[in-house]
Chain A
């Protein structure tokens, strides 16, 4: 897994069969950071040729003042991952100026983009006088003018966009000047060179510049390898070349219109810390100190994206009224309800919700980026809608902003007035749409999850957790009766009662104790005093499996009837039809539901119930 073997083999197979790697494979490729794996992926994909593919063909010429090393492989891997079918045409070694001046970039006509790799040797002479740094500055300016001339010549003969980059001043050059004053002067000369390079792109839309200096300044790898430089005229390390390729991919993606337009966001533990249905608006982590400040900053950056035309969709499993109230009234919320062009806040599967949001926006799901902290939700969306770019909000919220922006999903070459007003246009379009329809979960996906439910009688080790669930669960809390630790312990010791906990695990891992039930056990009738299930696992059929287990247990104990209750609260709407869905029927008394213990209940076929080593279904 770690060395990407499976991925590389799958890419090889695609190439062998002359088929384009599908969206799942491309999504997996886009997640690779390891230059060694990317390099092999690029190599595996180099022979990719498909007709009539969903991939966008793009031709990129590479010109360099040095050896390009694995830059070609990195470009191929990155461009395929972004949905392109690249043809890379590396220029000949030592021919940088000639190729640029004559605009002979490729065998057959103009490429779309010419990516230039330039190292310091282009601007610095071999010999220079450290006592005359000003003189060195004049040389650097003269070389920049030479480059300008070459670029003018290239543009007059070719319509290709030329992609340059800023370049770091190598420490070996900087540190060889021992005078602080002269070294400062040298640094200023170099910064001016980079500023002038960036200025080229501001003046001319046929030129673009990657600020490689900033990219490398933020990176955790060495940008240079002196051995490769001296041995192979390869000044940049694999990490630096991979970073440059990734920036080139961002540019080409924006140029070919393959950037994403829509950002769909989960709410709990993504836009704020905590579950609003559990802790209430006042208990959320948002604003103030860490970790609340991470979520505020995330909201501010999302808002900044929106100001630049990114359409926001809210996709949350929650009570819609509570969400609206919190988004409107919470003093620290940056993204108020009107910031979202569409909101899908309900208890249905997110994949179906995202499709429905895409329909009402009139955009394809392929233009979506989706951010969620739950591996379950992310896995589901990846499985059902692999064309959506899925980002994880799991883990330390301090990383949220970086996760969102680092890949440049939303890059455009230039902002237009329409871009800025786009979110508002789309919001009006969807305001009429109704997202309340109830989508079923995808059963195939649930089956693949291999969900296991483990019921267990309360023990001295689980009583505290059970009582905590009783205290904190608001949404799937059938009667609102909150048995505390003492009451739970007493009931669990009394044969007239049953207290059980429920744990769930699936292929994503162990969720731990996620539910509990308190039952009065009489000879003929079992009465459920309360049942709580954490909202983390709702939508997977776990609650139905719990009902099935309960009825089976009652029947085995000789009871004739199982009685359930539901007491409505402002927060437990999600559980209102639980008993009827489980096969119970109202017995005439308000809030009471009964089922003959011999009656039919069923456990969803994607859940297995395990007690000890015994598998019940």
Chain B
């Protein structure tokens, strides 16, 4: 069965097709979740933010300028709601892409103890990821979602030209931490 593209799903949902809405939710929620987690929101706040963003979209379904870019639209909305939650809680609000790096607490969600990880390699990767700066975690989460560069800009406010170099630097950090952890499995070359 051919995948309907996102623009077609948006139009169908706007016309009353509940199945199209369900498929939109299934296809976009992982990205929205990765954005909320990238801002270090705990589970309940992350759920509220993503849920609110879907409700926001509902009223805009038939009004989007470019339905094909609905993921970027949602990403912008989630980012805005994340910043509101952080502000309400009196936590540091990242106003630029560098500020997440400063004093963010460690990401609890992906600690090695967060779930039963099947292989030693997974444990090492989780540990290496947890040691990265908040900014690197945020970007790598989005890349892994996977998010397009346009969606990353919408989700973070980063300049598009900064994504490539930051990606390379963050992957380098991740590899070095993996190497320190004594795992060179899969990292040859």
Chains A and B form a bound pair: no
